Amino acid sequence: MKTKTKKKFITLGVTVVFLAVFSVVALWRGLTVKAYTETTDKVTSPIRIAVIADLHSVFYGDKQETLIKAIYKQNPDILFLVGDIADDYNPIDGTKQLLSVIGTEYPCYYVSGNHEYWSGEVDSIKDMIRSYGVTILEGDTDIIQVGNQKLRLCGVDDPTGIGENTYFTDNDVSESWQGQLDACKAELGDNIYSILLSHRPELTENYKDSGFDLVVAGHAHGGQVRIPLILNGLLAPNQGWFPKYAGGRYELGETTMIVSRGLQKDKIPRIFNPPELVIVNLEPER
Could you state, in order of their start, the residue ranges of all structural domains in the chain?
31-284
- What CATH number belongs to 31-284? 3.60.21.10
What pLDDT does residue 168 have?
A: 47
C-alpha span between 25 and 249 (Å, rounded): 24
As a whole number, mean pLDDT of residues 44-56 equals 96
Among 17-21, 174-178, 196-200, which range has the highest average pLDDT? 196-200
**Is pLDDT larger for residue 38 or for residue 8?**
38
Distance CA(142)–CA(155), nearest Å, equals: 9
Tell me what the mean pLDDT of segment 34-41 comes to: 96
Question: Strand order in 193-197's β-sheet?
Answer: 140-146, 149-155, 193-197, 214-217, 255-259, 248-252
At 107, the pLDDT band (50, 70, 90 cuts) reads: very high
Q: What is the mean pLDDT of the chain?
A: 88
**pLDDT score at 222:** 92
- CA–CA distance, 128 with 196 (Å, rounded to integer): 23
Reported as a pLDDT band with limits 50, 70 and 90, residue 24 is low
pLDDT at 17: 42
Task: Give pTM, 2 decimals.
Answer: 0.88
